């Protein structure tokens, strides 16, 4: 009974070793995987970022070279964004950048190359890992188990989200409390001035002065009661 081929999230648009006009007749020294610009790229192995390059509109454009713990060199090219720096240690699954269309490229894709013992080698056997570690990797990891880096990243993100949420709520509450205190103080001044003015008007002959003074005083007392309770 044959095995079922794994479902590919992205199409292999150019294989290793092919001759294509876009490269001026040179042999392709990697594999190209077509994917939308901005697709998350994650390291497929534990290692150290050996180089981060930006060739502008030539060659790989923005690229990352990761020296794996086994000694091989993984090359990621045509990136729109790089999320690591030279010297960074990365675990398998760690975000390293976003795919793009920089450099000498005919469309959005990831160029991946493998160097073994200082020579370019066929990276086709790594395509499955590239498929798994490109884009959404929230599902089960290798052999159905999430690696420690993914596990730690998920919990760190969750903790950061809760911290931000709590911080925002605290700032909103403090703002409302301060606003209530300001209105309370403002009502105190307005109430006293209004009552005094109406009493003066009543004393000089305005018949409704005393009545409106009483209305103002009651309104002021209610506002103080409501805002006082809210400002506690």
- The C-alpha atoms of residue 123 and residue 68 are separated, in whole angstroms, by 14
How many helices and strands (H and E) does the chain possess? 3, 10
pLDDT at 3 over 50: no
Phi, psi for residue 73 in degrees, rounded to 5: -115, 125
Predicted TM-score (pTM) of the model is 0.57
pLDDT at 143 over 60: no
Q: What is the pLDDT of residues 86-118, one digit of tens each?
A: 999 999 999 999 999 999 888 999 999 999 999
Tokens representing 219 are 């309104």
Q: Distance between alpha carbon 192 and the CA centroid of its chain, in Å?
A: 53
Q: What is the pLDDT of residues 204-228, one digit of tens each?
A: 666 666 667 677 777 767 766 665 5
Q: Distance between alpha carbon 133 and the CA centroid of its chain, in Å?
A: 17
Domain ranges of the chain: 11-146, 161-231
Radius of gyration of the chain (CA): 33
The correct answer on CATH 2.60.120.860 for the domain covering 11-146 is no
Q: What confidence category does residue 201 fall into, taking pLDDT thresholds of 50, 70 and 90?
A: low
Q: Distance between alpha carbon 173 and the CA centroid of its chain, in Å?
A: 26
- The C-alpha atoms of residue 13 and residue 112 are separated, in whole angstroms, by 12
pLDDT at 80 over 50: yes
Share of the chain above pLDDT 70, in %: 59
Mean pLDDT of the chain: 78
């Amino acid at each position: 009974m044959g095995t079922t081929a794994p479902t590919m999230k992205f199409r292999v648009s150019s294989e290793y070793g092919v001759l294509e006009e876009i490269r001026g007749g040179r042999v392709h020294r990697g594999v190209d995987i077509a994917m939308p610009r901005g697709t998350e790229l994650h390291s497929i192995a534990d290692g150290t970022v050996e180089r981060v390059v930006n060739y502008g509109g030539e060659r790989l454009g923005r690229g990352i070279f990761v020296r794996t713990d086994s000694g091989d060199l993984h090359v990621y090219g045509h990136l729109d964004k790089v999320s690591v720096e030279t010297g960074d240690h990365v675990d398998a699954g760690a975000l390293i950048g976003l795919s793009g269309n920089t450099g000498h490229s005919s469309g959005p894709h990831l160029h991946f190359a493998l160097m073994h013992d200082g020579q370019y080698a066929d990276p086709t056997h790594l395509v499955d890992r590239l498929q798994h570690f490109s884009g959404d990797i929230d599902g089960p990891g290798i052999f159905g188990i999430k690696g420690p880096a993914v596990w730690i990243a998920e919990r760190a993100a969750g903790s950061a989200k809760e911290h931000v949420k709590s911080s925002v709520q605290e700032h909103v509450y403090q703002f409302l409390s301060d606003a209530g205190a300001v209105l309370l103080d403002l009502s105190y001044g307005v109430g006293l001035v209004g009552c005094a003015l109406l009493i003066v008007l009543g004393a000089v002959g305005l018949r409704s002065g005393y009545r409106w003074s009483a209305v103002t005083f009651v309104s002021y007392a209610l506002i103080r009661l409501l805002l006082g309770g809210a400002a506690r």
